[in-house]
Structure 1
Amino acid sequence: MVCAHFNSLQEAYLGNLVALKHQPGAIELMDDIIMNCTKENIEQRKNRFFIQGDPKAMLMIEFARETPEEIQAIATQLEADFRAAGLGYHFPLVLGDANIKRVWALRTAGLGLLSNIPGDKRSVTVIEDTAVAPEYLPDYMDEFDQILGKYGLSCVKYAHIATGEIHLRPLLNLKDKADVALYHTIAREIAQLVKKYKGSLSGEHGDGRLRGEFIPFMLGERNYQLIKTLKQTWDPQNIMNPGKIVETPPITENLRYLLGQTRELETTFDFSDQKGFLRAIEKCNGSGDCRKSVAIGGSMCPTFMVTKDEDKTTRGRANILREFLSRSEKANPFDHEEVYEVLDLCISCKACKAECPSNVDMAKFKAEFLQHYYEIHGIPFRTRLIAYLPLLNHWGRMMRPLTNFITGTSTFKKAIGFAPERQLPRLSKLSLRQWYKRPIQLNGQGKGKVYLFADEFTNENESDLGIKAILLLNKLGYEVGIPKHVESGRTYLSKGLVKKAKKLANKNVQKLYPLIGETSPLLGIEPSAILAFRDEYPELVDTSLKNQAVALSKNTLMLDEFLASEFEKGNIDASLFTREKRTIKLHGHCQQKAVASTDPTKRMLEIPENYTVSEIPSGCCGMAGSFGYEREHYELSQKIGELVLFPAVRQAAPETIIAAPGTSCRHQIAEGTGRRALHPVEILYEALKC
């Protein structure tokens, strides 16, 4: 694939004609609006590896030939032809299926990425499917721009330029009466322009409610009457898809949004970057990227992958939220059990935050909704129990043996609504903080000081991991401190007690901001806890603390990220670790994949020179914090695990090490497969030479 960079769209239109002479398999266009949107998308930022500078337009030109030499020759000649015509400035050649898929992923994300433009102006459909012969395209687009310029409109341009089909989506506010009228005007004038150039108003899609109104004009009245006769003959009662092709109402009817101002809702999270909670929800444009399957890959959306129900998709949930919050006739629009029920099976995995091109963060929407819903209806007992787990663990430690015994009984689990098949996490003999207070020499060897966040799960339930992390860091030459802080707030966020989580976030930022910096980072073991500093905190803390929260987030790392970075800088010597061969299969944590990356974990695990790591292509493990423990969710939780993760673990050789950074993931793997999964830090610690 040759990815030709251009200084203007007009250059790209002419460049398309040059490229077509070389018989490519495909040519796709992206404009600078979409390319700029990819900078803000977690998933697509990784796919910008081939972009140089800030081109105004790009052509992605794909070739398939028998030999690499033929491809190289075509690419060389194509670049020469572009330069001879004075078109473009950079023409990288991308080779290999994996890299080409990344380029296509960037292009196909275009529709969803457009929803990241803040405010009520959206890239609207209606003229996005026009097509004219490629040789007419430069002149057609020149007249097209004149029409939009007449009305002071801008437009996004992308897609199938090889066949003269460019998706054209003007930016309009369909909540504004004037823009709704303009919507119809633009549609009519562009239809006239398309007909002038003997093109099609529906180049690859259907007409339907969007363009059905213009069928009589595009096909002529006589042909339209023939279609009407056909419809009346075969469907005299007008049962099948009425109003889609014949007798189609104007496009200004049945619009999704209500005219007038967007309902402003007071929230605990700060949605100001999206111009409010409702506009954040409206970023979902219905592209359906959330309707993934195991065959497609990815993590979004786990409950849909099992049930195949539309209301289990991010799109379905966003539609329900938008509909009720914008059209509710109740005094409090959050007072709707229907929304509560639809959000129940959102497991807050955060996959949509990364994989949805529009970055729709349904986990955050769910937490915000639940906060309001519970203020009306009260907090259920089990919800309160799970949210306040850190406090309960602290009290339970006073009589640890009895606490572990009681929580291990079926009677207790049934009483609180947990599945009796589950084994609840036990309290460690010593908390991490209790161990750390002991007089053990922990000073490093001059490589600097780091701070370890003693999260609520590691501190109380898996203190052995925290101890190994400290000993590992110390062995590698780092002084480790555990600063004063409160819990991360993850349990409260997961159950919708956002105001309580906000108080904790405020305290942590106030306590940690003065300590943490580039040379003294804050490190974490449990992804869901430490990544709250990077994900939720900047949008959760008081406005006066926002800048501090953002600064703190930049120096907050998973331990995996820190060690991988230090190794790459040459600060960690591989000779400190065993040379024995080990094979590791890694299951990444959902929030790690959404907010950070599993790449540092893989690099860290391969610091021992004979350790080989492969990542299991799994989405969510199915446990999702407390979700899989809850009795009514247990069966679905297991089915999610059976999609990819459980079979992959069972098929792994007995000597293969299973790695999983998430505490709930390790519990799910143990109960679903009988295999013990280790935290990556644990694996690296055990790899140290004595």
Structure 2
Amino acid sequence: MIPFMFGEEIYEYFKQIKQIFDPNGIFNPGKIVDAPRMNTFLRIDHTKPKREFQTYFNFDNDGGFSNSIEKCNGSGDCRKPQILGGTMCPSYKATLDEKHTTRARANALREIISKSNKGNPFVDEDLMEVFSLCLSCKACKSECPSNVDVTKLKAEFLQHYYDDAGVPFNVWMIGNLNIFNRIGSFAPKFYNFIVKNKVTSSVLKYLLKFEQKRQLPELKEISLKKWDRKHQAARTNRQIYLFADEFTNYFDSDIGVKAILLLEKLGYGVKIAPVGESGRTFFSKGLLKRAKKIAEMNVRNLADLINENTPLLGLEPSAILTFRDEYKEIVSGDLHDSAKNIARHTFLLDEFLANEFEKGQINSNSFTEQSLNIMLHTHCHQKALAGSDALMKVLSIPENYQVEEIKSGCCGMAGSFGFEKDKYDVSMKIGELALFPAVRNAPEDTIIVANGTSCRHQIAEGTSRKALHFVEVLYDAMK
């Protein structure tokens, strides 16, 4: 290309300069001068057919699974240091190891599945190691210039790996968290004794392969759904469905209660959506067979309920955004249109309130005039799939509330990732990149806001400061 772009005469000058300054050809040999032809040393052998697989996710928009991996062009944006901002890629920012970049994961996956002769090339320990520190934060889906979705690729890889190698016991336990919480909710005090007691919690962490330093989350005395069954709902023409996700329902039911009361005070009727869990734990651990069943069941239950007039709202970003992201790509073909329609009318609660504020349905007169300083940490999935603008706007509805967004990436917890013993150190290093110092340096009278349940847990353990959900702040601000 160089002779073509500059002409043979100038190219000869290039060669002479190269010979003067690098007579032994040790600086980037073959890059500019005497470079090989463009159709040599290609990463794909086009004389061989691409190997395709029966996948659990639908990769049709990318032209198939192999083409989805090929979206990575090697630009190296995933090697950004913390000083340049952004979220991608948290594991690289903490380790500064190329192996833990978005690019490395795509390259390793391409290399192994294209050259392996095994019936199931996904059963590969090198691949498992490369993906081990992926936090499934989804930052690559929005920040990578090619939008390589490594979270999706990782989940697909893990399910194929488990198909032959089996599902580890601790992975099965984490995936089925909702079942254990449901059982525990019948005797929450006993459940909480187990997770708080030094002996029993130590055994539980050992079985889960969790770091002993971590504190396991406790159940609330009453779940959100149980509270709602006793609650006399307000009657109004403005109806919404609230998703009582598997985390809010059991761990943060007090936040769910405040969300319902806040919406009712603002003139909305709230019904709990007739679905169970989102499947987030199964998606995160690569248990896609089970995740697909949950997604399809939820789509069937909501298909005739969710529309422009009765949207689906959620509080936990990782759970509610599953309806907007993964569901469309994993449900069977006959449910695809329904899943897309639900996705169009699914919102984070802050998105919904910000939109209603813009339309004049909500105004600042309903809230306090007192001053308050807020520092906001935005959940990774929200950054990648929705952004933080709506959240910033909603927290600013009270006229004298000042909101500053922390220039942090991922908090480092990422669901069960930060709990796991072999990932604990990396998890805390990620927190120390920006989030922990910002929270520690915040004045005592500044409120820390984080919508993700994992984010709040990480902030508490890393800084000893309590972070609130935005709903708690807005509810307390009501006149």
TM-score bracket for this pair, using the shorter chain length: over 0.9
2:205 is matched with which residue: 413, 418, 426?
A: 413
Report the Cα offset of residue 249 of structure 1: 4.2
2:327 is matched with which residue: 532, 537, 555?
A: 537
2:39 is matched with which residue: 243, 248, 252?
A: 252
Compute the TM-score of the two structures, normalised by the length of structure 1. 0.66
1:453 is matched with which residue: 228, 243, 261?
A: 243
Aligned to 1:398, what secondary structure does the other structure show? coil
| 1:444–1:475 CA contact under 8 A, matched in 2 | no
Report the Cα offset of residue 247 of structure 1: 6.0
| 1:334–1:372 CA contact under 8 A, matched in 2 | yes
Per-residue displacement from partner, 1:499-551 (whole Å, max 9, x unpaired)?
11111111111111100111110000000000001111111111111111111
Q: 1:226 to 1:509 in 2, by over 3 A?
A: closer
2:12 is matched with which residue: 219, 223, 240?
A: 219
Matched, 1:395 2:186: no
CA distance in 1 between partners of 2:71 and 2:175 (Å): 29
1:443 is matched with which residue: 234, 240, 248?
A: 234
Q: 1:245 to 1:291 in 2, by over 3 A?
A: closer
| 2:273–2:312 CA contact under 8 A, matched in 1 | no
Alignment of 1:541-580 (within 5 A): 541-580=331-370
Report the Cα offset of residue 224 of structure 1: 5.1
CA distance in 2 between partners of 1:635 and 1:310 (Å): 18
CA distance in 2 between partners of 1:306 and 1:315 (Å): 16
CA distance in 1 between partners of 2:21 and 2:293 (Å): 66
CA distance in 2 between partners of 1:406 and 1:507 (Å): 32
Aligned to 1:503, what secondary structure does the other structure show? helix
Aligned to 2:339, what secondary structure does the other structure show? helix
Equivalent residue, structure 1, for 2:267? 477
CA distance in 1 between partners of 2:346 and 2:122 (Å): 34
Matched, 1:195 2:15: no
Q: CA RMSD in A?
A: 1.9
CA distance in 2 between partners of 1:544 and 1:637 (Å): 40
Alignment of 1:164-313 (within 5 A): 191-192=3-4, 194-195=6-7, 218-219=11-12, 235=24, 243-244=30-31, 248-259=35-46, 260-313=48-101
Aligned to 1:352, what secondary structure does the other structure show? helix
2:342 partner letter:
L
Aligned to 1:330, what secondary structure does the other structure show? coil
Matched, 1:349 2:137: yes
CA distance in 2 between partners of 1:193 and 1:666 (Å): 55
| 1:407–1:424 CA contact under 8 A, matched in 2 | yes
| 2:258–2:475 CA contact under 8 A, matched in 1 | yes
1:516 partner letter:
I
Per-residue displacement from partner, 1:434-463 (whole Å, max 9, x unpaired)?
11111x3321444x1000001000011111
Report the Cα offset of residue 413 of structure 1: 1.7
Equivalent residue, structure 2, for 1:630? 420
Matched, 1:507 2:300: no
Compute the TM-score of the two structures, normalised by the length of structure 2. 0.95
CA distance in 1 between partners of 2:255 and 2:79 (Å): 37
Report the Cα offset of residue 635 of structure 1: 1.1
CA distance in 1 between partners of 2:5 and 2:302 (Å): 61
2:40 partner letter:
E
Aligned to 1:486, what secondary structure does the other structure show? coil
Aligned to 2:411, what secondary structure does the other structure show? coil
| 1:451–1:522 CA contact under 8 A, matched in 2 | yes
Report the Cα offset of residue 330 of structure 1: 1.5
Per-residue displacement from partner, 1:343-397 (whole Å, max 9, x unpaired)?
0000000110010011111111000000000111111111111000001111122
Report the Cα offset of residue 228 of structure 1: 6.4
CA distance in 1 between partners of 2:437 and 2:249 (Å): 31
1:580 partner letter:
Q
Aligned to 1:437, what secondary structure does the other structure show? helix
Consecutive unaligned residues of structure 1, counting only runs of 5 or more, are: 1-126, 131-190, 201-217
CA distance in 2 between partners of 1:637 and 1:407 (Å): 21
Which one scores higher on RCO, CA 8 angstroms, separation ≥ 6?
Answer: 2
Equivalent residue, structure 2, for 1:375? 163
Alignment of 1:422-441 (within 5 A): 422-438=214-230, 440-441=231-232
Alignment of 1:46-61 (within 5 A): none
CA distance in 1 between partners of 2:371 and 2:5 (Å): 67
| 2:354–2:394 CA contact under 8 A, matched in 1 | yes
Report the Cα offset of residue 336 of structure 1: 1.1
CA distance in 2 between partners of 1:534 and 1:306 (Å): 29
Equivalent residue, structure 2, for 1:497? 287
Report the Cα offset of residue 252 of structure 1: 2.9
**Larger Cα-atom Rg:** 1
Q: 1:578 to 1:444 in 2, by over 3 A?
A: farther
Matched, 1:384 2:172: yes
Consecutive unaligned residues of structure 2, counting only runs of 5 or more, are: none
Matched, 1:650 2:440: yes
Matched, 1:516 2:303: no
CA distance in 2 between partners of 1:229 and 1:467 (Å): 75
| 1:523–1:558 CA contact under 8 A, matched in 2 | yes
CA distance in 1 between partners of 2:124 and 2:52 (Å): 17
Q: 1:250 to 1:433 in 2, by over 3 A?
A: same
Report the Cα offset of residue 225 of structure 1: 8.2
CA distance in 1 between partners of 2:281 and 2:18 (Å): 60
| 2:170–2:207 CA contact under 8 A, matched in 1 | no
Matched, 1:614 2:404: yes
CA distance in 2 between partners of 1:560 and 1:321 (Å): 37
| 2:56–2:330 CA contact under 8 A, matched in 1 | yes
2:441 partner letter:
Q
CA distance in 1 between partners of 2:21 and 2:395 (Å): 67
Q: 1:226 to 1:524 in 2, by over 3 A?
A: closer
Equivalent residue, structure 2, for 1:75? none
| 2:176–2:282 CA contact under 8 A, matched in 1 | yes
Per-residue displacement from partner, 1:115-142 (whole Å, max 9, x unpaired)?
xxxxxxxxxxxx4xx6xxxxxxxxxxxx
1:329 partner letter:
N
Per-residue displacement from partner, 1:20-43 (whole Å, max 9, x unpaired)?
xxxxxxxxxxxxxxxxxxxxxxxx
| 1:353–1:362 CA contact under 8 A, matched in 2 | yes
Aligned to 2:78, what secondary structure does the other structure show? coil
2:214 partner letter:
R
Alignment of 1:98-113 (within 5 A): none
CA distance in 2 between partners of 1:488 and 1:331 (Å): 32
Per-residue displacement from partner, 1:414-453 (whole Å, max 9, x unpaired)?
3321111111111111111111111x3321444x100000
Report the Cα offset of residue 411 of structure 1: 3.2
Per-residue displacement from partner, 1:13-67 (whole Å, max 9, x unpaired)?
xxxxxxxxxxxxxxxxxxxxxxxxxxxxxxxxxxxxxxxxxxxxxxxxxxxxxxx
Aligned residues: 474
| 1:625–1:664 CA contact under 8 A, matched in 2 | yes
| 1:228–1:246 CA contact under 8 A, matched in 2 | no
Identity among equivalent positions (%) equals 53
1:406 partner letter:
I
| 1:442–1:471 CA contact under 8 A, matched in 2 | no
CA distance in 1 between partners of 2:133 and 2:148 (Å): 16
Report the Cα offset of residue 465 of structure 1: 0.8
